[in-house]
């Protein structure tokens, strides 16, 4: 009866090791299978949508050429919507930080203000990158 705790410990270690190794293997397979984000840039987004339309609609090359400008216009509009959503989300978070700052001491307020400035800069850079894409 004195060695039963050893048996329980061995099975617990085996269980944990199985869980860890299973998680590592699963995440490795999922990482390889995840396709890149097709909305990362204008060209990739447009091409991704065109490929889907061509495949699903079984479009001819002439049809594809005819609808490409409309798809590209839609992608530009979707990118503008993304930028607007980023700005609105940033404004909402900035308003929340402004409310939070009122209950903090001066040092904490300075830290949050620096955080807010860094966030704004990062968002502006992200928007500039999106707008600079052809």
For residue 36, give the DSSP letter: P
Task: Look at residue 105 and give its three-state secondary structure.
Answer: coil
Say if residue 134's pLDDT is above 60: no
Percent of the chain with pLDDT over 70: 89
pLDDT tier, 132 (very low <50, low <70, confident <90, very high otherwise): confident
Query: Residues 124, 125, 126, 132: is their CA dihedral positive or negative?
Result: positive
pTM of the model: 0.59
Query: For residues 28 and 17, what is the distance between their CA atoms, to the nearest angstrom?
Result: 16
d(CA 112, CA 110): 5
Q: Do 50 and 71 touch, CB atoms closer than 8 A? A: yes
Confidence of residue 104 (pLDDT cuts 50, 70, 90): confident
DSSP designation for 1: -
In this structure, of 4-13, 55-64, 71-80, the range with the lowest mean pLDDT score is 4-13
- HSE-CB for 36 with a 13 A CA cutoff: 7
State the average pLDDT over residues 70-94.
90
Mean pLDDT, residues 122-131: 82
- The pLDDT of residue 10 is above 80: yes
The rounded radius of gyration (Å) of the Cα atoms in the chain is 26
Which stretches of the chain are DSSP H helices? 4-33, 42-57, 61-101, 106-132
Mean pLDDT of 66-92: 91
Compare 74 and 38 and report the one with higher pLDDT: 74
């Amino acid at each position: 009866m004195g060695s039963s705790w050893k048996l329980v410990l061995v099975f617990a270690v085996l269980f944990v090791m199985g869980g860890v190794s299973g998680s590592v293997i699963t995440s490795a397979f999922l990482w390889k299978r995840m396709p890149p984000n097709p909305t990362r840039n204008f060209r990739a987004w447009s091409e991704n949508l065109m490929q889907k339309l061509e495949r699903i609609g079984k479009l001819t090359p002439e049809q594809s050429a005819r609808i490409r400008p409309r798809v590209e216009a839609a992608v530009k509009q979707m990118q503008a919507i993304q930028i607007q959503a980023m700005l609105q989300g940033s404004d909402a978070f900035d308003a929340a930080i402004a409310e939070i700052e009122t209950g903090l001491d001066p040092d904490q307020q300075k830290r949050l203000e620096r955080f807010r400035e860094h966030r704004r800069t990062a968002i502006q850079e992200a928007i500039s990158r999106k707008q600079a894409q052809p």
